[in-house]
């Protein structure tokens, strides 16, 4: 919704917004765009007399402001519908859908188009570091291209379809598909149905770029497809295969079938980012960007805030922030860091805060997802909207003594700092602010100098 607000502002509208507990990077982005953010849901905001209220899916019936909007019959719409009607009409939409990697892949795709001179508009659920903001109406007045992160979560309390059915892309990436959003979907099949609704909106002249390793996506396509398909995977997957990558000296050789397209040299971690890159290269080719040019652009891609973002370093200790909250994303993130740091210690800090995780549906998968970490610190709030409905300590029992759980953030910070050694990598994972734990740890580390020295003395002794 913050990105939608930015688009509306750039379109020339006066924009205000309201929410509770908004945190960076979105809060700072809104301030930089001159968008007033009002804390809470007071009915006093009706005095602003806007032309329309654009409603996000966090708003439910019973919300005091929403109830009064309904009572007075005031005009309202959803964020995705407003974007579809006022931004995407008559534009070449490139959409990125999937359980994981949407933000990074959409950011890669937008950057490839930007580097190629296409000046795309975009709406992304994070802040690409190459752009410094999560949304842009268009790079210049002549651009007809728009990259959008296509989320399967529901649109609004009054529209229970997935957001992405509003976007009507001409180019569509289907990155992957797993069970998620347990608060609104009963099972994976229900999500597959929504993905098939999305496939139905792609025109015959369009292109769908699909992860060849995902059986769920194959089932989606088998239900009916009217557009040209291209497939991708990290390794070759048969005769006449689509996009894949080969590890070679100097980087990754990007292949389309048997044809080499160029060598990708970059510093991003993990196999998941190779998949993201393949999808972005294939999608960019559909609009006319030669693969070699896309590969060259990705060499200058700077990732996305809150995706393995280094928040600070002290005494050889590096603190990272990552958005991972689904067990698959957690496992992929830890594995990517492990590959980079080798045998150095990884201390994983996890706040299971998403709606799915708060329900405990995937709690049994957490020990395996965190298995490559040396120490694990779990945090579950005792009260409030982020309170867990299950026992985090019990869920992490298979990890034995290397896992600890806390319901007090200060106690967690103290425990982390007490057990941190020079050269450790602290990986903080949450889809929320995690109470600003990153900075709390960085602020506390200087006070642990003596502890660091004592640890070194013990190790040497």
DSSP structure string for 310-377: EEEEETTEEEEEE---SHHHHHHHHHHHHHHHTTS-EEEEE---SHHHHTTTTGGGHHHHTTT-SEEE
Calculate the alpha carbon distances from 224 to 199, 217, 229, 257 in Å.
8, 12, 12, 24
Q: And the tokens for 292?
A: 């070699």
Q: In whole angstroms, what separates CA 280 from the centre of its chain? A: 15
Q: Which residues make Cβ contacts (< 8 Å) with residue 128, sequence separation at least 6?
A: 107, 110, 111, 134, 302, 303, 304, 305
300's enclosing H/E stretch is none
Calpha distance 99→177 (Å, rounded)? 5
DSSP state of 398: G
pLDDT band at 456 (very low <50, low <70, confident <90, very high): low
* Strands 251-256, 243-248: pairing kind: antiparallel
Which is it for the CA torsion 338, 341, 343, 344, positive or negative? Answer: negative
| Residue bearing the bigger pLDDT, 437 or 224 | 224
| Residue bearing the bigger pLDDT, 11 or 249 | 11
Q: And the tokens for 147?
A: 């990259």
Q: Which of 239, 234, 264 is nearest to 250 (CA)?
A: 264
Q: Look at residue 164 and give its three-state secondary structure.
A: helix
24's enclosing H/E stretch is none
Q: Which residues make Cβ contacts (< 8 Å) with residue 449, sequence separation at least 6?
A: 315
Strand locations in 236-293, DSSP E?
243-248, 251-256, 259-264
**What confidence score (pLDDT) does residue 269 get?**
67
Across the strands, what pairs with 405? 378
Burial grade of 189 (CB within 10 A; 0-12, 13-18, 19 or more)? exposed
pLDDT band at 218 (very low <50, low <70, confident <90, very high): very high
Whether pTM exceeds 0.85: no
Q: In whole angstroms, what separates CA 174 from the centre of its chain? A: 15
Q: Which tens digits make up the pLDDT trace of 358-392?
A: 666 777 888 888 988 999 998 887 666 667 777 88
286's enclosing H/E stretch is helix 271-286
Calpha distance 345→419 (Å, rounded)? 11
| Residue bearing the bigger pLDDT, 232 or 238 | 232
**What confidence score (pLDDT) does residue 307 get?**
73
Calculate the alpha carbon distances from 62 to 41, 65, 66, 70, 354 in Å.
11, 9, 7, 11, 22
- What value, to the nearest 5°, has the Cα angle with vertex 391 and ends 385 and 393? 120
* Strands 145-149, 403-406: pairing kind: unpaired
**What confidence score (pLDDT) does residue 409 get?**
86
Q: Which tens digits make up the pLDDT trace of 394-442?
A: 888 898 888 888 888 888 989 888 888 888 999 998 877 777 888 888 8
404's enclosing H/E stretch is strand 403-406
Calpha distance 95→172 (Å, rounded)? 5
pLDDT band at 150 (very low <50, low <70, confident <90, very high): very high
Q: And the tokens for 387?
A: 């309170």
Question: How far apart are the two ends of the chain, measured CA to CA in Å?
Answer: 56
DSSP state of 128: B
* Strands 309-314, 317-322: pairing kind: antiparallel
- What value, to the nearest 5°, has the Cα angle with vertex 225 and ends 219 and 228? 115
pLDDT band at 89 (very low <50, low <70, confident <90, very high): very high
Angle of helix 102-115 relative to helix 271-286, nearest 10 degrees, comes to 50
Q: And the tokens for 411?
A: 């106690």
Query: Cβ(150)–Cβ(163) under 8 Å?
Result: yes
User: Residues, the chain, total?
Assistant: 461
In the chain, the percentage of residues whose pLDDT exceeds 70 is: 92
**What confidence score (pLDDT) does residue 239 get?**
42
Q: Which residues make Cβ contacts (< 8 Å) with residue 431, sequence separation at least 6?
A: 323, 325, 353, 354
């Amino acid at each position: 919704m913050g990105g939608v607000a930015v688009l509306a502002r750039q379109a020339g509208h006066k924009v205000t917004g309201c929410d509770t507990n908004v945190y960076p990077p979105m809060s700072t982005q809104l301030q930089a765009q001159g968008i007033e953010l009002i804390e809470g849901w007071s009915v006093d905001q009706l005095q602003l007399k806007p032309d329309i209220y654009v409603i996000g899916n966090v708003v439910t019936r019973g919300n005091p402001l929403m109830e009064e909007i309904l009572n007075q019959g005031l005009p309202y719409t959803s964020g995705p519908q407003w974007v579809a009607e006022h931004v995407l009409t008559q534009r070449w939409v490139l959409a990125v859908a999937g359980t994981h990697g949407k933000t990074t892949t959409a950011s890669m795709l937008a950057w490839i188009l930007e580097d190629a001179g296409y000046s795309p508009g975009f709406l992304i659920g994070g802040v690409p570091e190459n752009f410094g903001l999560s949304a842009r109406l268009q790079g210049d007045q002549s651009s007809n291209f728009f990259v959008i992160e296509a989320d399967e979560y529901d649109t609004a309390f009054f529209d229970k379809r997935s957001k992405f059915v509003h976007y009507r892309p001409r180019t569509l990436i289907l990155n992957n598909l797993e069970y998620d959003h347990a608060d609104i979907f009963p099972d994976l099949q229900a999500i597959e149905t929504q993905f098939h609704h999305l496939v139905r909106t792609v025109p015959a002249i369009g292109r769908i770029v699909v992860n060849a390793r995902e059986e769920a996506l194959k089932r989606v396509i088998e239900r009916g497809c009217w557009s040209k398909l291209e497939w991708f995977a990290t390794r070759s997957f048969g005769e006449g295969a689509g996009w894949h990558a080969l590890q070679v000296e100097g980087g990754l050789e990007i292949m389309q079938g048997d044809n080499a397209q160029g060598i990708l040299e970059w510093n991003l971690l993990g196999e998941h980012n190779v998949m993201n890159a393949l999808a972005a290269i294939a999608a960019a080719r559909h609009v006319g960007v030669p693969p070699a040019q896309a590969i060259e652009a990705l060499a200058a891609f700077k990732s996305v805030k809150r995706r393995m973002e280094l928040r600070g370093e002290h005494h050889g200790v590096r603190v990272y922030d990552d958005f991972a909250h689904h067990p698959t994303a957690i496992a992929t993130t830890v594995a990517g860091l492990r590959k980079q740091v080798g045998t150095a210690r990884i201390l994983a800090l996890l706040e299971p805060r998403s709606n799915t995780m708060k329900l405990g549906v995937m709690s049994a998968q957490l020990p395996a997802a965190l298995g490559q970490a040396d120490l694990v610190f779990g945090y579950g709030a005792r009260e409030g909207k982020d309170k867990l409905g299950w026992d985090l300590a019990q869920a992490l029992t298979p990890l034995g003594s290397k896992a600890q759980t806390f319901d007090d953030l200060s106690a967690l910070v103290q425990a982390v700092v007490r057990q941190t050694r020079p050269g450790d990598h602290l990986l903080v994972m949450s889809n929320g602010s995690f109470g600003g734990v990153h900075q709390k740890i960085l602020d506390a580390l200087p006070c642990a100098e003596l502890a660091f020295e004592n640890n070194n003395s013990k190790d040497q002794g």
